[in-house]
A = this chain, B = another copy of it.
Amino acid sequence: MLPTITAFAASPDRGRGLARDMPVRWAFEEVGQPYDVRLLSFDAIKEAPHRALQPFGQIPTYELGNLALFESGAIVLHIAQNHAGLLPKDADARARAIAWMFAALSTVEPVVVQRESTLFMERDKAWFAERMPLVEALIRIRLRDLSTRLGAADWLDGAFTAGDLLMVQVLRRLSGSELLAEHPNLSTYVARAEARPAFKRAFAAQLAVFTDRLPSK
């Protein structure tokens, strides 16, 4: 029996790998665990059967046997705790890697997502041009601190961990922006992660959901 995750049937980002199933697919690939995917429409994720699994009407979920989980961070941690490959064996190093998972989701991601919601909801508002620099200033503070900590290292704390996986996934939301380009070590960090075979397999799998639905020629 394979774990089953949920993902969008129609990729909202046209297969750029920014939906929340991407980090979970990537984690599965890093640890070598095959998985099944159940695709859901935008309507279905808001309906009662899915909300029983995901109270906030989002993807992904994780199901295996009697266990159902939600929250991509929690699912990545669950995979990392139950398979070798994403967390160090040493207890202290393991705790530090988990701290980076929380830093990615709790300290860096919120300011990055605020920029996206500003672009999405406020682009046509009179205040957009004046407000966007405030939003970006908050991101710059986080990226400056992250860049300083990373320095010339390959990964945040020793070998690649689930902390790097989630941090890179957050930074990928800024790919192509000046904000990321201002820190060459962060751009390289993202590229280094995207070059991992596990990342490439996960990316291809989520992209296939999008391309398979394109009209055939």
Decide: A107 near B56, CB < 8 A? Known: A122-B131, A127-B125.
Answer: yes
* Residue from the set A51, A68, A103 with the largest chain B CB neighbour count within 10 Å: A103
List the 8 closest pairs (A to B, CB-CB), nearest first.
A127-B127, A55-B149, A74-B99, A110-B110, A71-B102, A74-B102, A73-B102, A67-B92
- The size bracket of the interface on A is 35 or more
A interface: dominant SS: helix
Nearest-CB residue, chain B, relative to A101: B74
Question: A15 vs B107: C-alpha distance in the bound complex, in angstroms?
Answer: 23
User: Which stretch in A31-39, A140-148, A178-186 binds the other chain?
Assistant: A140-148
A:30-78 near B, CB below 8 Å: 51, 55-58, 66-71, 73-75, 77-78
Question: A81 vs B125: C-alpha distance in the bound complex, in angstroms?
Answer: 47
Q: Please tell me if A109 contacts chain B, counting CB pairs below 8 Å.
A: yes
Not counting A106-B106, A117-B138, A122-B134, a sample of 9 additional A-B residue pairs whose C-beta atoms are within 8 angstroms of each other reads A51-B145, A55-B103, A55-B149, A58-B107, A71-B106, A77-B98, A102-B105, A105-B105, A114-B114
